[in-house]
Structure 1
Amino acid sequence: MVSVRGWLQCDDGQLAQIKEIVEADDPERTYSGGWAFPTRQYNNVSWAFYGGDIRAVSLDWFEERLHQIAQIPASYQDDEYDDRPRGLFLVSHDADGMSEWKVRNGDLVIGLPAGDYHYLDA
């Protein structure tokens, strides 16, 4: 099993696109039920959260969803500020340990945790 938990920050238009990506999955065949969206978003930032334990063979499914989300374009063209969706996910694999998945700059970057998050593996 793999424990996945994390968040994305975006704007309202991007959140609508994230929800479309999530809702396109068949809820009977995937772990899409791990997504949560606050019913009341406030200020100028919207949030999406994911938390769940999934089978290791389904991790490719989650990775593909994050790649799709990372490709959502910026709402405003501003050379100084990149407002594409961005976020952080901690992925803890029973055998392989923990990795850190960063959604930023239109891509998904997977690597070793930059912080001490191992207390979450307990």
Structure 2
Amino acid sequence: MSRFYDVRGHLACEFGDLERIRQIVDAYAGRGEEFGLSERVAQLYCSGWLYQQAEINWVAHAFFGASVKRGGVDLVRDQLENIAGLVTDVEGAFFVDDDEGGQSECWKVTGGRLKVFEREGPSDVNALNGQSDVGPSAGRAGSLDGVEPVRSREELAAFLRSAADDLARNPGAWENASLESFLGAWAAWLDDMPGWYGNQGKDVPDRPDYQLIADMVMAARIYE
């Protein structure tokens, strides 16, 4: 009996880059043999990609989701490595889970390459969005899993202690693990904050609160 893997995630890019991504993906339809797949199965797996049909504000998205064999995992990973290297400023995140309980992974597309992290187990859609959408409530990993809303000074202090513990335990999950890169990423996200809120259809907060400070910390953790 074949073993299957649940692969799902999305890429964020400029709308004009979607056609380039589609071309890279479609080029794999005839390369199944490289991944131990028939041409028919390779074509089927390539059809698991969906692309935003119309330009909406500043960011466009391409999505993938399918239950695939091991060769399909390798095919999608190779697609993403090529996309990361050939499409400027593309960002994204994908989850890979073994249906038989093997090691789960998170793939992050950033900085022109694909980064692979091990995960403890399957995550929900909100966690997936958090990994790729580097705005408020961005990917909380490790000891930050399940953090409650931050509404008070005491809760913010507890949150910051959890963040410090997460950095110590899971430095690989922090794109900006040094103080210099973290503060630089925080400043860059603040510069981009109006665009992020506009893309979400929200107004930029007039006054910062404890939750916004926590969200900024989480954003700076992985923002580039």
State the TM-score bracket (shorter-chain normalisation).
0.7 to 0.9
Counterpart selection for 1:118 from 102, 116, 122: 122
Give the alignment's Cα RMSD to 1 decimal.
2.0
Please state which structure has a larger fraction of its residues in helix: 2
> Residue by residue, what CA displacement relative to the aligned partner does 1:24-70 show, whole Å, maximum 9, x if unpaired?
23273311011011222311211000000000133211111000010
Instruction: Judge conservation of contact 1:6–1:51 (CA < 8 Å) in 2.
Output: yes
Extract unaligned runs of 5+ from structure 1.
75-83
Tell me the amino acid that sits aligned with residue 94 of structure 1: D
TM-score relative to the length of structure 2 = 0.45
Report the identity percentage: 29
TM-score relative to the length of structure 1 = 0.79
Q: Which has the higher contact order (CA 8 A, sep 6+)?
A: 1
Tell me the amino acid that sits aligned with residue 82 of structure 2: Q
Which structure: larger Rg?
A: 2
Distance (Å, rounded) in 1 between the aligned partners of 2:57 and 2:104: 33
**Residue 42 and residue 117 in structure 1: after superposition, are their counterparts in 2 closer, same or farther (change >3 A)?**
farther
**Residue 19 and residue 119 in structure 1: after superposition, are their counterparts in 2 closer, same or farther (change >3 A)?**
closer
Extract unaligned runs of 5+ from structure 2.
30-38, 125-224
Please state which structure has a larger fraction of its residues in strand: 1
